Amino acid sequence: MHELNLTTLAAAIDEQNRVLPVSAVIHVSLADKPVYSQAFGYANRSEGFPNRLITRFGIASGGKLFTAVAIAMLADQNLISLEQPVRDFLSGELEWIDKRVTLRHLLTHTSGIADYFDEDGPSDYENYWQNLAPRPFYHMLSAQDFFPLVEKQQMQFTPGEKFSYNNMGFVLLGLVVERVSGCRFQQFIEEKIFGPAWMRASGYFFSNRLPAHTALGYIDQEDGGWHTNQFAIPIVGHGDGGAYTTAADFGRFWKAIFEKRFFGEGMLAEMLSPQTMVGRDGGTQYGLGLWINDAAAVRCYYVTGEDPGISFYSAIYPEVQLQITLLGNSNDAIWPMSKIIRAEIFNF
């Protein structure tokens, strides 16, 4: 059993927060029992409302794992196959997509399809939605609303050739969930995943009508000013992300996955098995909708998310029953904090 250091964790977090303050909830648990749980910063800066442990945060691409679980559920029920071409679920739409692109390719970011936002280019997502996208953010109500963003695109590489992070692939997976289940994607996730996991505070909320206890996302400006992210992200989440959740709810979600509430042992093993290598060092791999890393000598499964005014990291180490979750409503500070927490716990 790997030796974990939890005695100095609080002091390390406090020191890092002094160096680079976070606006976030930080939650660390061992064997389902909290060992550190603290809120920092403000959910609403104008009114001075602080973040609390019950605060809901947007998690951006962290929601891709919900989409992957939904697809895995349908596959486990033999309603679809991961080897099916995505074109089987498109009614003549996006004909430029290679017929060889399968659902597995989409789940593992190895499809080669064009994305609506270039993750490898300039990362100004706010500028994209305000000035470059052919449709305004408040029109993005369904998966089909993303189609005009890529209708004149072409394949970027041969399916399966390499890993290349891709949001549009998960938008299409959300569409597959809808067309197979006959249910709106957001409703399917809320009823079939959030429900069984007892994630009562989580949902796909419209950014112009957020429920109580929800943090606004803040974009800090170079001149010291700030503004909210309401005009910088799609108005509601889709297959590529955009759900809202709490630290406690995401912990329940990890627990539900490993208790096989969504699908059987075989599908769980497939989801957690490395499907593709990320980068050249071999340290990071990708399963079905989640990242895999063995850097601390203990296998870690994790998800991340970042949009303007949103930062999210959640990891689970099943071998030692450890969970680490950080949900932030600003950018930058979460990532060095997550590294400090891991380094402190694993003594590296």
Radius of gyration of the chain (CA): 19
* Cβ-contact 336, 255 below 8 angstroms: no
Is 190 inside any structural domain?
A: yes
* Cβ-contact 268, 254 below 8 angstroms: no
Q: How many CB atoms lie within 10 A of CB 281?
A: 8
Q: Which tens digit of pLDDT belongs to each residue from 100-139?
A: 999 999 999 999 999 987 765 545 777 777 776 677 778 8
pLDDT mean over 150-165: 94
Q: What is the pLDDT of residue 120?
A: 59
Mean pLDDT score of the chain: 93
pLDDT mean over 304-326: 97
Residue 295: φ, ψ to 5°: -60, -30
User: If we measure between CA atoms, which residue out of 299, 340, 344 comes closest to residue 22?
Assistant: 340
74-78, 146-150, 292-296: least confident range? 292-296
Supply 278's token pair.
């990320």
Is 281 inside any structural domain?
A: yes
Residue 210's pLDDT band (boundaries 50, 70, 90)? very high
Query: Collapsing DSSP states into helix, strand and coil, what is residue 337?
Result: helix
For strands 42-44 and 33-40, give the pairing.
Answer: unpaired
Q: Which tens digit of pLDDT belongs to each residue from 228-257?
A: 999 988 999 999 999 999 999 999 999 999
The secondary structure element, H or E, covering residue 66 is helix 64-76
The rounded distance, in Å, linking the Cα atoms of 131 and 108 is 30
Q: Which tens digit of pLDDT belongs to each residue from 48-61?
A: 999 999 999 999 99
Is 115 inside any structural domain?
A: yes
Q: How many CB atoms lie within 10 A of CB 135?
A: 15
* Cβ-contact 179, 139 below 8 angstroms: no
Q: Which tens digit of pLDDT belongs to each residue from 67-113?
A: 999 999 999 999 999 999 999 999 999 999 999 999 999 999 999 99
Residue 327's pLDDT band (boundaries 50, 70, 90)? very high
Q: What is the pLDDT of residue 122?
A: 45
Residue 19's pLDDT band (boundaries 50, 70, 90)? very high
Domain of 30, CATH number, reads: 3.40.710.10
**Which residue has better confidence, 341 or 122?**
341
Q: Where are the alpha helices (DSSP H) in 155-294?
A: 167-181, 185-189, 247-258, 265-272
Is 16 inside any structural domain?
A: yes
Straight-line distance from the first to the last Cα atom of the chain, in angstroms, rounded to the nearest whole number: 16
Is 327 inside any structural domain?
A: yes
The rounded distance, in Å, linking the Cα atoms of 168 and 191 is 24
Q: How many domains does the chain have?
A: 1
Is 288 inside any structural domain?
A: yes
* Cβ-contact 303, 284 below 8 angstroms: no
Is 265 inside any structural domain?
A: yes
Is 213 inside any structural domain?
A: no
Q: Where are the alpha helices (DSSP H) in 137-292?
A: 167-181, 185-189, 247-258, 265-272
pLDDT mean over 273-295: 87
Q: 157: domain range?
A: 9-206+228-346
